[in-house]
Amino acid sequence: MESCRSFLLLFFTWSFLFLCSHQLPSSQTQVLLQLRKHLEYPNQLEIWKDHTIDFCSISSSALVNITCLDNLVIELRIKGDKPSKISGFNGFSIPNQTLSEAFSLDSFVTTLARLASLKVLSLVSLGIWGQLPDKIHRLTSLEYLDLSSNFLFGSVPPRISAMVKLQTLAMDDNFLNGTIPNWFDSLSSLSTLSLRNNQLKGPLLDLSSLSSLEILDLSGNKLNSLLPSMPIGLVMLVLGNNSFSGEIPQEYRKLRVLQHLDMSFNTLTGTPLAALFSLPNISYLNLASNLFSGSFSGHLSCGSKLDFVDISNNSLTGDLPSCLRTESEKRVVKFRGNCLSVSMQKQHPQSYCNELVTPKKKQSGGKDVGILVGVILGIFVLLVLLVLSLVIFCRRYLPRGVSEQHLLHKPVQDNPVAVGFSTEMLTNARFISQSAKAGMQGLPGCRAFSLEELVDATRNFDNSAFLGEGSYGKLYKGRLENGIQVVIRCLLVSKKYTIRNLKLRLDLLAKLRHPHLVCLLGHCLDGGGDDYSVNKVYLVSEYVPNGTFRAKLSGIGSRPEKVLNWPRRLSVLIGVAKAVHFLHTGIIPGFFSNRLKMNNILLNEHDNAKLSDYGLSIISEETDKSMANEGHKSWQMKSLEDDAYSFGYILLEAVVGASISARREAFLLKDMATLNSQEGRKQLVEPIVLATCSQQSLSIVISIMNKCISPEASRPSFEDILWNLQYAVQVQATADGDNRYDTHR
């Protein structure tokens, strides 16, 4: 009977525990699976198989640890086996040492930011490479961040200054090559800052306001200033292997809780600060391999806890204080490589240290050499300026031949800044990603057409071939001699372009090859009989047969069952986002002002999106005059944001339909907020969307849409937009899978 009671008690206990255990929300589970994919499926994460895994119940190991609180991930630690430090890293992927070329640190951090409850994040030796993006600050709850032993380069992101809860920041053994930020004082809770073994350079600024800082390790960098003030609460200070100069500040005697001090391998001068040896808690003191000189005071005393001292390889002279003589106390003392008056350990003769301290003759000789080098450099610079002046004079005033020389001539009025591209940029335009090159495979090449071919294709531009007039010129449907259907666009060309410059621009357009861009097949220049000027350009593009995205949303010209449901709408939106992301980042220089509109999104026979009317501003007569006034960089950023803004309204129409989205600004003022409630969605969202979407998937799209079009919001990049749309698809697929599972139960 007693055994039966025990069994029942055990049974009910386990049942209670099972009922009270909850898995993570599907959104957080999806993020963890995405992180595994970003990290290219490391062996440590093999157990992370699918969304059925209870991540919070996985037992911890030395390599992977997940901690949950209230069904949210608050701690994530992953340690890999990639090499911690190699030579020859140049900012690009290295096979078998970093993650692959396809890895995107920006996308990875965007995914991480979905774990908004994270307090501890440690990603060590995983081969992560790239420049850490500012969006890391989205992890606002983070208290511990360790990204050591990876391949991070560039500066420490400035927006980390907004992570006010951060207590530990460690990015050791990377390739950071900026300067030490001047905003660390905004991290009032920071207790540990470790950036050792990077390539940081420049001065180290005053850190005394970091009252919580206990551990500071900046060793193994290229810092080259005087030693700054330090917070008095420091317990460990490691500044070795840099280029710090000058004397140790007197205020360091106030570091009364300091236990570990390493300033070895710098260029510090003067006599070591005697007070450092007698600090009440100091146990480790390393001042080796500097330029210290002079003699110690005979009254120098050592703290009771000091058990290691290294003053080797300096220029110290005189007697060694009694507390540093190894036979007097049980502490390790290294002092070889000085000129001390002791017989122990190897010492240099007195004359050796005197020469190092007072190299006046050498300094004078060095000064003379410096003057001579300066004179030679001055003469060289003068000669270069003369040559450049002669070249400019010859180009401007000497006559040229016709033909190629004439074509190469660039008149004054050819102002490339007005449309963002200089002739040099156009000439050197190049792809910067393998994905861009992959996008060209299987697509037809671009060639020059004769005007006669186009006349034949359109039956002399007959009215029956006229399709309408778009943002850039008139459109005609034609059929080439080989039977291929095409669209021919006729547009006026800005007169400020020379033939050479115009051809460079057309060549740049021809490089835009992507599965979600309407393919440019060729062009024809019509000069009106003038050999050196062009009035019109005809652009020949592929014909996309299945109508526009807008028509498929509303069902115009098709049966109701052909109206796109939510998953198919997401597929089209992702295709457009991929195309625009390619235009922004897939080629240098990027194409930013693309006049994104619903009618410019075409669908092929498989309902795959094809974006038209892209990039035409570089050859059209209709250019935005404000571009010339703002300069290239500001114009580029403005246009990039304009594309995001326009795409926001495309998202809006995909959700609520054309009639509501047409209200634009009025919709923003009155109805946007109502999309966040179930009742508001019932009133505004298209019925087919409500019937075929999961609420979480729809919420993700509404959120990124709001960021695109809200006047107050900082507009997202297209990488952010693309990630959110792909995430919405994954959430939708999970919901559809769960629904199918429930249906068949």
Token code pair at residue 716: 């997202």
Determine, yes or no, domain membership for 463: yes
Q: Which residue shows structure tokens 């917070």?
A: 231
**What is the identity of the amino acid at 204?**
L
Q: Does 725 fall in a domain?
A: yes
Q: Are residues 372 and 421 in the same domain?
A: no
Please identify, among 378, 407, 434, the residue that sits at the C-terminal boundary of a domain.
378
One domain, residues 655 and 707: yes
Looking at the fold, whether 358 and 466 belong to one and the same domain comes out as no
CATH of the domain at 704: 1.10.510.10
Helices 105-112 and 26-38, packing angle to 10 deg: 160
pLDDT at residue 136, as a whole number: 92
- Tell me: do 548 and 679 sit in the same domain: yes
DSSP string covering 157-225: PGGGGG-TT--EEE--SSEE-SB--S-GGG-TT--EEE--SS--EE-----TT-TT--EEE--SSEE-S
Predicted local confidence at residue 11, as pLDDT: 44
What pLDDT sits at residue 388?
A: 77
Residue with tokens 């570091």: 255
**Residues in the chain, overall count:** 745
My answer on whether 365 and 469 are in the same domain is no
Secondary element (H or E) of residue 151: strand 151-154
Please, is 141 exposed, middle or buried when counting C-beta atoms within 10 Å of its C-beta (0-12, 13-18, 19+)? Answer: middle
Asked if 258 and 238 touch (Cβ cutoff 8 Å), the reply is: no
* Dist CA 284 CA 226 (whole Å): 22
Look at residue 318 and give its three-state secondary structure. Answer: strand
Residues 608 and 699 in one domain: yes
Indicate whether 323 and 428 sit together in one domain: no
Same domain, 369 and 429: no
580, 596 contact by CB (below 8 A): yes
Cβ atoms of residues 345 and 334 within 8 Å: yes
Examine the domain organization and report whether 540 and 634 are in the same domain. yes
Q: Which of 354, 378, 402 is the last residue of a domain?
A: 378
Is 345 inside any structural domain? yes
Strand 284-286 to 308-310 pairing: parallel
Q: Which one of 316, 349, 378 terminates a domain?
A: 378
Terminal Cα-to-Cα distance of the chain (whole angstroms): 39
Total domains in the chain come to 2
Four-point Cα dihedral 658, 660, 661, 662, nearest 10: 80
In this predicted structure, what is the pLDDT of residue 372? 72
Domain presence at residue 148: no
Is residue 606 one of the residues assigned to a domain?
Answer: yes
Residue 274 lies in a domain: yes
Task: Judge whether 60 lies within some domain.
Answer: no
Nearest to 700 by CA among 658, 731, 737, 667: 731
> Consecutive sets of 10 residues in the chain, 745 residues long: mean pLDDT of each?
48 41 74 90 87 84 90 92 74 87 88 91 94 90 94 90 93 91 88 94 90 94 93 95 94 94 95 93 95 89 91 92 73 90 84 69 50 76 78 53 31 35 50 45 70 89 84 85 88 72 80 86 72 74 88 67 85 92 78 82 89 80 44 45 84 84 64 79 88 90 87 78 88 73 49
Tell me: do 628 and 705 sit in the same domain. yes
- Please give the sequence-ordered ranges of beta strands (E in DSSP) within 326-431, or none if there are none: 332-334, 339-340, 430-431
In a domain, 57, yes or no: no
Return the pLDDT at 589.
66
Please name the helix (run of DSSP H) or strand (run of DSSP E) that holds residue 237, with its range, or none.
strand 236-238
Do residue 425 and residue 367 come from a single domain?
A: no
CA separation for the pair 450, 554 (Å, rounded): 40
The set of long-range contacts for 734-743, using a CB threshold of 8 Å and a minimum separation of 24, is 734/26, 734/30, 734/51, 735/694, 735/696, 735/697, 736/567, 736/694
Range of the domain at 289: 269-378
Q: Are residues 487 and 611 in the same domain?
A: yes
Task: Phi first, then psi: give them for residue 374, nearest 5 degrees.
Answer: -60, -40
Q: Are 543 and 487 in contact (CB under 8 A)?
A: yes
